[in-house]
Amino acid sequence: MNYELFVDKLKERGILITTLQLEQFKLYQNLLITENKKFNLTSITDEEEIIEKHFYDSLTILNKLNYQGTLLDIGTGGGFPGIPLKIMLPELKIILSDSTQKKLIFLETVIAKLKLKNITTLLKRAEEIKTKYDFVVSRGVAKFSILNELCLPLVKVGGYFIAYKGSEGLNEYNQGKRGLDILGGQLDFYEELYLNKQENKRINFFIKKINDTPTAYPRLFATIKKSPLE
């Protein structure tokens, strides 16, 4: 996917991008490519694949929610989906969370170079975070049954946990949906889409927080991984 197609695909989803925002994406891409070896940011290094599989993929939730408030990006890695969302939604407050400090050092550079405002980094594992947010998003971090317990406790009642999943997303959801009831979440809707024609299937899940999460959750990560809520 080149930038011309990127703009067209966003337009198909009702998303308009300014010249400034497009230049920010190009600068971000250059930083990813030049700094990747130093910071181990992504296995995707081809320019067109970065546009499709990182930038466009991150933005596929934009036209589904009214973003007002604060968004936490769990396991952000190279800044996905948080940085692309911030570029397109400058008014939204975003926190980029990761347990690897060197990745957050890179993201601080991106924030400065792109002149992004109202966005910060947080060096913590998900289960260590105590603040609650309007939106919690996660992309490619863990299977659904694990993500539920890491993310739903951090969502305010009435807010959303949004999980970006691949082609096996429905199987993962069906395997881990029991945990939603326990943790106070409920599937609002999901969207199936393809990043490019009929290739690279994605499923985005929008989980609404309808009740407080019991104080016993989240458990320690080792416990969650060993005995996920399935």
Domains observed in the chain: 60-211 (3.40.50.150)
In this prediction, residues 212-221 reach a mean pLDDT of: 94
At 56, list the tokens. 């466009």
Q: What is the pTM of this model?
A: 0.93
Q: What is the pLDDT of residues 145-197, one digit of tens each?
A: 999 999 999 999 999 999 999 889 899 999 988 899 999 999 999 999 998 87
pLDDT value of position 136: 97
pLDDT value of position 203: 95
Residue 42 has pLDDT above 80, yes or no: no
CA atoms of 181 and 183, how far apart (whole Å): 6
CA atoms of 122 and 67, how far apart (whole Å): 21
CA atoms of 132 and 35, how far apart (whole Å): 32
Query: Tokens 């996920």 map to which residue?
Result: 228
pLDDT value of position 121: 98
Q: What is the pLDDT of residues 47-90, one digit of tens each?
A: 888 999 999 999 999 988 777 899 999 999 999 999 999 999 99
Residue 31 has pLDDT above 90, yes or no: yes
At 208, list the tokens. 């609404």
Residue 41 has pLDDT above 90, yes or no: no
Q: What is the dihedral of CA 113, 8, 56, 209, to 10 degrees?
A: 110
Residue 152 · residue 183 · CB < 8 Å: yes
pLDDT value of position 160: 96
pLDDT band (50, 70, 90) for residue 199:
confident
- 3 state DSSP class of 151: helix
pLDDT value of position 123: 97
Task: Quickly list H helices, the chain.
Answer: 3-12, 19-39, 47-49, 57-58, 82-88, 101-113, 144-151, 169-176, 178-183, 221-226
pLDDT value of position 196: 84
pLDDT value of position 84: 97
In this prediction, residues 195-203 reach a mean pLDDT of: 84
pLDDT value of position 67: 74
Residue 119 has pLDDT above 90, yes or no: yes
Residue 227 has pLDDT above 80, yes or no: yes
